[in-house]
Amino acid sequence: MKYIPPEDVTSPKNRWSMIKVLIPGSEGTMALAIGIWDGKPTLAQRWNGNDDEGPTGCPQAYGNPYWFIVESGFFTDAIVDKLSPEQQTFVRTIIPKAIAA
């Protein structure tokens, strides 16, 4: 196995639940998902592994692949703005745009 597909990354199960993989990426590239972290909707990213550096990708702990949680607000808005219009609409039904202070 060259990498663990992002839809199979479910750790840590007591804090994360997947809603949808938005960008699956491929071997050795980034993946983006939307899910629930500690009861709040959020975006999450991870690097898909490869044969040279290991199939679990990054981040990982104790050999288990994890998601990197994107801080809501500015960072989430910047990422969502780069998605396709259909994906932007989908994400915004779950995570509203941050209100500028």
Burial of 15 (0-12, 13-18, 19+ CB in 10 A): middle
Top-confidence residue, 97 or 85: 85
Q: Residues 1-16: what's their mean pLDDT? A: 90
pLDDT exceeds cutoff 90 at 2 = no
User: What pLDDT digit, counting tens, does each position of 12-68 carry?
Assistant: 889 999 999 999 999 999 999 999 999 999 999 999 999 888 899 999 999 899 999
Q: Is 46 exposed, middle or buried (0-12, 13-18, 19+ CB in 10 A)?
A: buried
Mean pLDDT of 84-90: 96
Asked if the model's pLDDT at residue 99 lies above 70, the reply is: no
